[in-house]
Amino acid sequence: MPHVEVRRANAAERTFEFQVAGLAVQVLSGLEWRVRDRFSTFAEYKLSYARNDTDLVDKGSLETNLWINQFVLGVSGHVR
């Protein structure tokens, strides 16, 4: 549930509220490679999509499609 924050230029009111705005989807994938007994490296990818169709306080509306890509690389240690 997105928080809509919109302030138009030269407008007295602003939209500052939570709204049910549309579809949201996330896809996550990852790989881990064991390097030695106690260490490994990993890679993760996450794609997020959100379609927002919101109503503004002054009878206007805002529509946007958000695509967010995230990529992470790292090293992890394992304790026995």
Can you list the positions of beta strands (E) in 1-80?
3-6, 15-18, 24-34, 39-55, 61-77
What pTM value is reported for the model?
Answer: 0.70
The count of structural domains within the chain is 1
Does the residue 26 lie in any domain? yes
Per-residue pLDDT of the chain (80 residues; tens, 9 = 90+): 778 888 888 878 899 999 988 889 999 999 999 998 899 999 999 999 999 999 998 888 999 999 999 999 999 998 87
Does the residue 16 lie in any domain? no
Does the residue 57 lie in any domain? yes
Does the residue 12 lie in any domain? no
Does the residue 68 lie in any domain? yes
Q: How many residues does the chain have?
A: 80
Does the residue 8 lie in any domain? no
Domain that holds residue 35: 22-77
